[in-house]
Amino acid sequence: MWFNACAAHDSKTLRTRKPRTYGHCPGLVQRFVRLAAGLVLYGVLAAGTAMAADRPMRIVALGDSLTAGFHLPASSAFPARLERALKGKGMEVEITNAGVSGDTALGGLSRLDWSVPEGTDAVILELGANDALRGVDPKLTRQALENIVRTLKDRGVEVLLAGMRAPPNMGADYRRAFDAIYPDLATTYGLVYYPFFLDGIAANSKLNLGDGIHPNAAGIDIIVGRILPKVQELIARVQARRS
């Protein structure tokens, strides 16, 4: 194809019996250069994609003391136990514990940039329990959580939102306003959603520490077992983006 194009271009030149050079067919040279550049770029992109696919998936668990593992060894905290469960299913993941005891939704927002570094594939967002315990206006909690979600979505980070519920002593009106935050955000932003982080262990003395609020090691294992299908859904979303 290249030679046919060049012959048509050089029909007058051939009559003079001058030797053919690439300079007599600039279109050929340009097309060759473009093709070579395209092949190089394709190779770079393919290599980058392969490297991204080969490396472990990076997940950050962004939360409060329930994530941090209050009064538990690091190996028994939620992120560590979840990583172990996923690896047991053959999934190559790295889960960073970005839980800070006492943190509110606004606190999580204020440290978002350094808690969720570049290269993070997904975030498990578990915040709001301290807001409810302190009676923070649900509008403020929602605004902070929404800002976190929007920032992560803008960065291309997939999000699993772990819901929380207000304690009964906060009153019916407060509970309705607070509890509605999580399903509303999940629907609005199309998030993977786990309705209640403490599902199955809340108010169970055998699965909580002496304070009746924080899960013990057995409670953490219950949480991991129940949230695992949603985390797998989160991972599937990341894999779909990579492919």
What residues are annotated to the active site? 65, 211, 214
Element spanning 142, H or E: helix 138-154
Look up residue 36 and give its amino acid.
Answer: A
| Alpha-carbon span 112 to 106, nearest angstrom | 10
List all residues 6 or more positions away from 182 whose beta carbon is below 8 Å from its beta carbon: 128, 161, 163, 164, 193, 195
Judge contact between 194 and 164, C-beta under 8 A.
Answer: no
- Residue 19 half-sphere exposure toward CB, CA atoms < 13 A: 1
